[in-house]
Chains A and B, each alone.
Chain A
């Protein structure tokens, strides 16, 4: 059985999200790098995989997918085992809670963090000056989100309940980069959130993907 293919380097948060799911279910995969410097992401070959010219794209046999959270759901569903049921399929209530907190990650947590990352790391790399106003607003938004997370994680071990799910794992890529910025201090006021993150970052699957991200980012 040919390994599945992930198109895009591990340094990209959306690629890392898919990789952590593959590691959790223990499926063989191959990473195919897409070279943004030569605009490979806009090549006809890659646009056939991802019409938005982004990464990741994903191939399993004849099936081609894009959008990291959709790919993640596919991987966790298709390769699910009795031990690794990270979508909680089979329980309408539990799977609904996974969906809730995955949407919170996608629509509230992630945008606030990626906005800070963009200003602090990407803008200077492109020769510009970070917009401290945008950074300030985004950090403010993030603290409001973290207020809710702290309350939630005081009641439950993980976000969707007392079980680990895709909702928790999906937070790791952006958080990994955020923790390398001075704004990471915002987490100091949220002890349960910090514990939850430490728990996640201790997982072998996440450690493996972090090593791939670090290698790619410095390369």
Chain B
């Protein structure tokens, strides 16, 4: 049985997201490089895998998937074990609903707040090399992020992790963009939210997270 394939570069946030969950469940996979600086992701071969010309692409036998959070859920459901119940699906509908809630929060509230700063400071100038930093966008992003972190701080006063007392898909989805945010001069923002900071540090301490973050540069 051939291993799963992930198409992209391990330092790209959404590629790292998929690799993180592959590492967490300990599944075998192959990383197939895509020369995005040469525009390979916009060419027909990659478009067969990801019709939006984005990364990652993903293949498990005949199954082709895209959208990193969808790929990650598939990996967890198919290759995960009962003791690592990242989606809460082995615990019951209430637990899985709470994981879904905070997974949506990451995608719909946290990501729009933190991503512009990461795109402006790191992705645009240094990874995709498309544009220099727009400071106004960064400032607006930080303002919005403060609001979100305030809500996270209150949540983490009440539960150890976002969806409850066990680590879940919701927590780990924060890794890729937050990792890069922490390499910017604005990382100290998290110091204002002690519960959030402690939560972040416990996620970063996970061996699977360490393995994936090794491929993500801290200096540009």
- Whether chain B is bound by chain A comes out as yes
Please give the number of chain B residues whose Cβ is less than 8 angstroms from any Cβ of chain A in the complex. Answer: 29
- Helix, strand, loop or mixed for chain B's interface? helix
Query: Which residues of chain A (80-109) have a CB below 8 Å from chain B?
Result: 92-93, 95-97, 99-100, 102-104, 106-108
A190 to B: closest C-beta gap in Å = 14
Q: Is the CB of A51 within 8 A of B155?
A: yes
Q: Is the CB of A63 within 8 A of B97?
A: yes
Query: Which residues of chain A (14-65) have a CB below 8 Å from chain B?
Result: 51-52, 63, 65
A67, A93, A95, A152: the one within 8 Å of B108 (CB) = A67
B63, B96, B154: the one within 8 Å of A96 (CB) = B63
Question: Across the interface, which residues of B come within 8 angstroms of A184, CB to CB?
Answer: none
Question: Across the interface, which residues of B come within 8 angstroms of A93, CB to CB?
Answer: 63, 74
Closest residue of chain B to A73, judged by CB?
B100
Q: Is the CB of A70 within 8 A of B77?
A: no
Q: Is the CB of B51 within 8 A of A151?
A: yes
B70, B94, B108: the one within 8 Å of A99 (CB) = B70
Complex CA distance for A73 and B107, rounded to whole angstroms:
15
Q: Is the CB of B73 within 8 A of A96?
A: yes
Chosen A-B contacts, 12 in total, with CB atoms closer than 8 Å, are: A67-B100, A67-B101, A70-B97, A70-B104, A74-B93, A77-B93, A95-B74, A96-B70, A96-B71, A99-B73, A103-B67, A148-B52
A residues in contact (CB < 8 Å) with B: 51-52, 63, 65-70, 73-74, 77-78, 92-93, 95-97, 99-100, 102-104, 106-108, 144-145, 148, 151-152
Contacts beyond the supplied A63-B94, A100-B70: 15 A-B pairs with Cβ under 8 Å: A52-B109, A52-B151, A63-B97, A67-B100, A67-B101, A67-B105, A69-B104, A78-B93, A95-B73, A96-B65, A100-B66, A100-B67, A104-B52, A144-B52, A151-B51
